[in-house]
Amino acid sequence: MDLIKINNVSKIIHDNIILKDITLNIEKGKIYGFIGGNGSGKTMLFKLISGLTKVSSGEIFIGDKQLGKDIDFIESCGAIIDKASFWDNYTGFYNLKLIASIHNKVSDKEIKDFMNLLGIDPDSKILYKKYSLGMKQKLAIIQSLMESPNIIILDEPTNGLDDSSVEIVRNLILQYNSKGSTVLIASHNKDDIEILSDYIYKIDNCSLVKL
Protein backbone atom coordinates (compact mmCIF):
# COMPACT_ATOMS: atom_id res chain seq x y z
CA MET A 1 0.00 0.00 0.00
CA ASP A 2 1.44 3.38 -1.04
CA LEU A 3 1.45 5.92 1.79
CA ILE A 4 3.26 8.73 -0.03
CA LYS A 5 3.06 9.41 -3.76
CA ILE A 6 5.49 11.84 -5.36
CA ASN A 7 4.49 12.65 -8.93
CA ASN A 8 6.91 14.50 -11.26
CA VAL A 9 8.06 16.88 -8.54
CA SER A 10 10.58 19.61 -9.28
CA LYS A 11 12.02 22.35 -7.10
CA ILE A 12 13.61 25.45 -8.60
CA ILE A 13 15.06 28.33 -6.57
CA HIS A 14 16.23 31.51 -8.32
CA ASP A 15 16.49 29.65 -11.65
CA ASN A 16 18.60 26.92 -10.01
CA ILE A 17 17.19 23.43 -10.42
CA ILE A 18 17.42 21.61 -7.08
CA LEU A 19 15.25 18.59 -7.94
CA LYS A 20 13.87 17.62 -11.33
CA ASP A 21 10.93 15.35 -12.18
CA ILE A 22 11.10 13.23 -9.03
CA THR A 23 8.60 10.36 -9.01
CA LEU A 24 8.43 7.86 -6.17
CA ASN A 25 5.79 5.76 -4.43
CA ILE A 26 6.57 5.09 -0.77
CA GLU A 27 5.01 1.99 0.76
CA LYS A 28 3.55 2.01 4.25
CA GLY A 29 5.73 0.31 6.85
CA LYS A 30 8.98 0.34 4.86
CA ILE A 31 12.32 2.10 5.38
CA TYR A 32 13.67 4.18 2.51
CA GLY A 33 17.31 5.23 2.48
CA PHE A 34 18.54 8.23 0.49
CA ILE A 35 22.14 8.98 -0.41
CA GLY A 36 23.87 11.73 -2.36
CA GLY A 37 26.58 14.32 -1.97
CA ASN A 38 26.29 17.54 -0.02
CA GLY A 39 23.83 19.83 -1.76
CA SER A 40 22.42 17.03 -3.89
CA GLY A 41 18.86 17.72 -2.77
CA LYS A 42 18.20 15.12 -0.05
CA THR A 43 17.23 17.71 2.55
CA MET A 44 15.10 19.59 0.02
CA LEU A 45 13.23 16.39 -0.86
CA PHE A 46 12.48 15.83 2.81
CA LYS A 47 11.28 19.43 3.18
CA LEU A 48 8.93 18.96 0.24
CA ILE A 49 7.53 15.68 1.57
CA SER A 50 6.98 17.10 5.05
CA GLY A 51 5.29 20.24 3.73
CA LEU A 52 7.95 22.64 5.01
CA THR A 53 8.58 23.82 1.44
CA LYS A 54 6.26 23.92 -1.55
CA VAL A 55 6.98 22.18 -4.84
CA SER A 56 7.69 24.25 -7.94
CA SER A 57 5.79 21.71 -10.01
CA GLY A 58 4.31 18.26 -9.56
CA GLU A 59 2.25 16.74 -6.76
CA ILE A 60 2.81 15.02 -3.44
CA PHE A 61 0.03 12.93 -1.87
CA ILE A 62 -0.07 11.63 1.68
CA GLY A 63 -2.66 8.90 1.40
CA ASP A 64 -5.42 10.49 -0.65
CA LYS A 65 -4.64 14.06 0.47
CA GLN A 66 -2.52 16.40 -1.61
CA LEU A 67 0.10 18.46 0.19
CA GLY A 68 -0.40 22.17 -0.29
CA LYS A 69 -4.00 21.66 -1.33
CA ASP A 70 -5.88 19.34 1.02
CA ILE A 71 -3.32 19.53 3.85
CA ASP A 72 -0.33 21.78 4.60
CA PHE A 73 1.69 19.28 6.61
CA ILE A 74 1.78 15.54 7.30
CA GLU A 75 -0.62 14.97 10.18
CA SER A 76 1.46 12.36 12.04
CA CYS A 77 5.13 12.98 11.33
CA GLY A 78 8.31 13.06 13.37
CA ALA A 79 11.25 14.68 11.65
CA ILE A 80 14.83 15.82 11.86
CA ILE A 81 15.35 18.22 8.97
CA ASP A 82 18.06 20.86 9.06
CA LYS A 83 18.75 22.35 12.46
CA ALA A 84 16.31 21.28 15.18
CA SER A 85 14.36 24.11 16.82
CA PHE A 86 14.56 24.15 20.61
CA TRP A 87 14.53 26.88 23.23
CA ASP A 88 18.09 27.80 24.24
CA ASN A 89 17.26 28.87 27.78
CA TYR A 90 15.29 25.77 28.82
CA THR A 91 16.60 22.38 29.88
CA GLY A 92 16.38 19.39 27.57
CA PHE A 93 13.53 17.85 29.54
CA TYR A 94 11.53 21.07 29.65
CA ASN A 95 11.99 21.54 25.90
CA LEU A 96 10.55 18.08 25.25
CA LYS A 97 7.78 18.60 27.81
CA LEU A 98 6.67 21.80 26.07
CA ILE A 99 6.62 20.12 22.66
CA ALA A 100 4.75 17.10 24.07
CA SER A 101 2.12 19.38 25.64
CA ILE A 102 0.81 20.31 22.18
CA HIS A 103 -0.78 16.89 21.60
CA ASN A 104 -0.62 15.43 25.13
CA LYS A 105 0.34 11.99 23.82
CA VAL A 106 3.51 11.51 25.87
CA SER A 107 3.88 11.44 29.64
CA ASP A 108 6.73 12.97 31.64
CA LYS A 109 7.87 9.45 32.53
CA GLU A 110 8.04 8.43 28.87
CA ILE A 111 10.11 11.51 28.08
CA LYS A 112 12.49 10.77 30.96
CA ASP A 113 12.79 7.12 29.94
CA PHE A 114 13.71 8.22 26.42
CA MET A 115 16.31 10.65 27.74
CA ASN A 116 17.84 8.04 30.02
CA LEU A 117 18.01 5.55 27.15
CA LEU A 118 20.09 8.00 25.12
CA GLY A 119 22.27 9.02 28.04
CA ILE A 120 20.82 12.44 28.87
CA ASP A 121 19.99 13.11 32.51
CA PRO A 122 16.36 14.34 32.49
CA ASP A 123 16.87 16.05 35.85
CA SER A 124 19.93 17.98 34.72
CA LYS A 125 19.71 21.78 34.96
CA ILE A 126 22.00 22.26 31.99
CA LEU A 127 20.34 24.56 29.46
CA TYR A 128 19.96 23.51 25.84
CA LYS A 129 22.36 26.23 24.66
CA LYS A 130 25.09 24.50 26.68
CA TYR A 131 24.46 21.12 25.07
CA SER A 132 27.14 19.48 22.91
CA LEU A 133 26.38 18.65 19.27
CA GLY A 134 25.75 15.03 20.24
CA MET A 135 23.35 15.95 23.05
CA LYS A 136 21.43 18.28 20.74
CA GLN A 137 21.18 15.49 18.19
CA LYS A 138 19.89 13.06 20.81
CA LEU A 139 17.21 15.55 21.87
CA ALA A 140 16.14 15.97 18.24
CA ILE A 141 15.88 12.19 17.87
CA ILE A 142 13.71 11.92 20.99
CA GLN A 143 11.46 14.71 19.75
CA SER A 144 11.03 13.01 16.36
CA LEU A 145 10.13 9.61 17.81
CA MET A 146 8.41 10.18 21.14
CA GLU A 147 4.85 10.47 19.81
CA SER A 148 5.13 7.27 17.72
CA PRO A 149 4.37 9.04 14.42
CA ASN A 150 3.11 7.23 11.33
CA ILE A 151 5.87 8.78 9.21
CA ILE A 152 9.42 9.40 10.43
CA ILE A 153 11.76 11.58 8.34
CA LEU A 154 15.38 11.63 9.48
CA ASP A 155 18.09 13.72 7.84
CA GLU A 156 21.51 12.58 9.13
CA PRO A 157 20.12 11.20 12.43
CA THR A 158 23.43 9.73 13.66
CA ASN A 159 25.47 12.87 13.01
CA GLY A 160 27.61 13.72 16.04
CA LEU A 161 26.79 10.54 17.96
CA ASP A 162 29.24 8.10 19.54
CA ASP A 163 29.20 4.45 18.45
CA SER A 164 26.99 3.21 21.30
CA SER A 165 24.43 5.96 20.69
CA VAL A 166 24.43 5.19 16.96
CA GLU A 167 23.55 1.58 17.78
CA ILE A 168 20.73 2.69 20.09
CA VAL A 169 19.30 5.02 17.45
CA ARG A 170 19.40 2.34 14.76
CA ASN A 171 17.60 -0.06 17.06
CA LEU A 172 14.98 2.58 17.86
CA ILE A 173 14.35 3.19 14.15
CA LEU A 174 13.90 -0.54 13.54
CA GLN A 175 11.67 -0.81 16.59
CA TYR A 176 9.34 1.95 15.43
CA ASN A 177 9.33 0.55 11.91
CA SER A 178 8.33 -2.87 13.27
CA LYS A 179 5.32 -1.17 14.88
CA GLY A 180 4.21 0.23 11.52
CA SER A 181 6.00 3.56 11.11
CA THR A 182 7.23 4.40 7.62
CA VAL A 183 10.79 5.76 7.74
CA LEU A 184 12.70 7.98 5.34
CA ILE A 185 16.38 8.38 6.20
CA ALA A 186 19.24 10.26 4.58
CA SER A 187 22.75 9.64 5.84
CA HIS A 188 26.40 9.94 4.86
CA ASN A 189 26.98 6.94 7.11
CA LYS A 190 26.97 4.03 4.68
CA ASP A 191 26.16 1.56 7.46
CA ASP A 192 23.02 3.50 8.45
CA ILE A 193 21.64 3.12 4.96
CA GLU A 194 22.68 -0.50 4.39
CA ILE A 195 21.59 -1.78 7.81
CA LEU A 196 18.25 0.02 7.99
CA SER A 197 16.85 0.41 4.49
CA ASP A 198 14.43 -1.78 2.59
CA TYR A 199 14.99 0.40 -0.50
CA ILE A 200 17.88 2.71 -1.35
CA TYR A 201 17.78 5.72 -3.66
CA LYS A 202 20.46 8.11 -4.81
CA ILE A 203 19.91 11.74 -5.72
CA ASP A 204 22.33 12.59 -8.50
CA ASN A 205 22.26 15.52 -10.91
CA CYS A 206 18.86 16.60 -9.49
CA SER A 207 17.29 13.24 -10.31
CA LEU A 208 16.33 10.21 -8.23
CA VAL A 209 17.81 6.80 -9.06
CA LYS A 210 16.95 3.49 -7.39
CA LEU A 211 19.97 1.42 -6.41
Tell me: pLDDT of 179 over 90: yes
Report how far residue 61's alpha carbon sits from residue 193's, in angstroms, rounded to the nearest whole number: 25
Tell me: pLDDT of 83 over 90: no
**Per-residue model confidence (pLDDT) at position 47:** 95
- pLDDT confidence bin for 1, thresholds 50/70/90: low
Q: Which amino acid is at 7?
A: N
**Per-residue model confidence (pLDDT) at position 151:** 96
Q: Is the dihedral of CA 49, 50, 53, 54 positive or negative?
A: positive
The structural domains of the chain, ordered by start, are 30-53+72-210 (3.40.50.300)
146 within 8 A of 111, measured Cβ to Cβ: yes
Q: What angle do CA 189, 10, 193 make, to 5 degrees?
A: 15
Report which secondary-structure segment, H or E, holds 12: strand 2-13
pLDDT in tens, 106-152: 999 999 999 999 999 999 999 999 999 999 999 999 999 999 999 99
pTM, two decimals, is 0.93
